[in-house]
Amino acid sequence: MSWEVPLTTRALITGITGQDGSYLAEHLLEQGYEVWGLVRGQANPHVSRLRKHIGDVRLVHGDLLDQGSLISAVEKVRPDEVYNLGAISFVPMSWQQAEITAEVTGMGVLRMLEAIRVVSGISGSRTPGGGQIRFYQASSSEMFGQVRETPQNERTPFHPRSPYGVAKTYGHFITQNYRESYGMFAVSGILFNHESPRRGAEFVTRKISLGVARIKLGLTEKLTLGNLEARRDWGYAGDYVRAMRLMLAAATPEDYVIGTGRTQSVRELVELAFATAGLDWRHHVITDSALTRPAEVDLLCGDPKKARDQLGWEPGVTFEELVTMMVESDLALLSRSDRPADEPLSFDHW
């Protein structure tokens, strides 16, 4: 008599405590994966939240700033797939802390690739098979920056406009380089903005949905924003993590743009979010030039044709559904009797 030993794919996710990490962990668990998260720090407050919401995730300690810790983590977990979502991801902070952004968001990618290379025993160039571990890098549409063409696709040149964008561009090219140098299955998803009720409160979509909820519930009257004319391609994070897995399941390692193909201004987002709650934004929104950026990305719009044609990936949630989902979620959250007192609320309370 024989029986089949179940083959479980093992994934290691950096940035597991962030918005995308949480959705990706849930998605991979649903697909039958064994999911490990890399967590840093001695008393990381995000870990208990992660444990509470996604109990089945296993944790391993490590830090994108510490090469040895990444080698140890990869050695311990022996993953089939590594998803590098860890980064300093808030663009304005990258001007205040340009060097640490370069270290975490840029050099962190190199350190993880090196950890995979060393643990896989890849020493020379073009090792046959390039090892078994497949690597996903979270590249960003911020790399397009001052865009050369619209919509942006996989062949559009990069012109990053922030230290964050520059660091992501390094991460993108070092991933490509390890693929070309060592034959590793290393790919980048160039993801346009993707949001959800779990988005951090510092990003504009969540800042607006929380602001609308507070105003609707009489907790405040005004919401202060920066540049209302910037345009973004906003999709739903839960849709975008599906694309990450599909990229690693593909027959060949390639980079893909993930976006919706639509673009809206911050002003249009504001108008819709306030209207969703029955409010007129013009009575509540004020702008402050202190919130504008030293160099802005004026327009982003992704062309996801390659992902659609080759991966069968499609966004499921429209911009209008996304905005409604976020405003309704924050209205429900702030209406709760056990609402935490320490506002501003963020992803901590999903």
Known catalytic residues are 169
Site residues for ligand GDD per CB under 6 A = 89, 91, 140-142, 192-193, 202-204, 207, 225-227, 230, 232, 266, 291, 293, 296, 300
Are 190 and 172 within 8 A, CB to CB? yes
Give min distance, CB of 326 to ligand GDD, in A.
Answer: 12
Q: Which is nearer to ligand GDD, 127 or 146 (CB)?
A: 146
Give min distance, CB of 350 to ligand GDD, in A.
Answer: 17
Q: Which is nearer to ligand GDD, 207 or 284 (CB)?
A: 207
Are 214 and 332 within 8 A, CB to CB? no
Q: Which of 4, 9, 303, 266 is nearest to 144 (CA)?
A: 303
Are 204 and 225 within 8 A, CB to CB? yes
Alpha helix stretches (DSSP H) within 121-234: 163-182, 204-216
Radius of gyration of the chain (CA): 20
Euclidean distance between CA atoms 127 and 191, whole angstroms: 29
DSSP 14-68: ESTTSHHHHHHHHHHHHTT-EEEEEE-SSS-HHHHHHHHH-TT-EEEE--TT-HH
Give min distance, CB of 142 to ligand GDD, in A.
Answer: 5
Give min distance, CB of 292 to ligand GDD, in A.
Answer: 7
Quick one: CA dihedral 190, 264, 202, 209, positive or negative? negative
* Phi, then psi, of 81 in degrees rounded to 5: -135, 140
Q: Which is nearer to ligand GDD, 72 or 346 (CB)?
A: 346
Give min distance, CB of 302 to ligand GDD, in A.
Answer: 9
3-class SS of residue 338: coil
How many residues belong to the chain? 350
Give min distance, CB of 166 to ligand GDD, in A.
Answer: 12
Q: Which is nearer to ligand GDD, 141 or 175 (CB)?
A: 141
Q: Which is nearer to ligand GDD, 10 or 95 (CB)?
A: 95
First to last CA, the chain: 48
Q: Which is nearer to ligand GDD, 203 or 250 (CB)?
A: 203
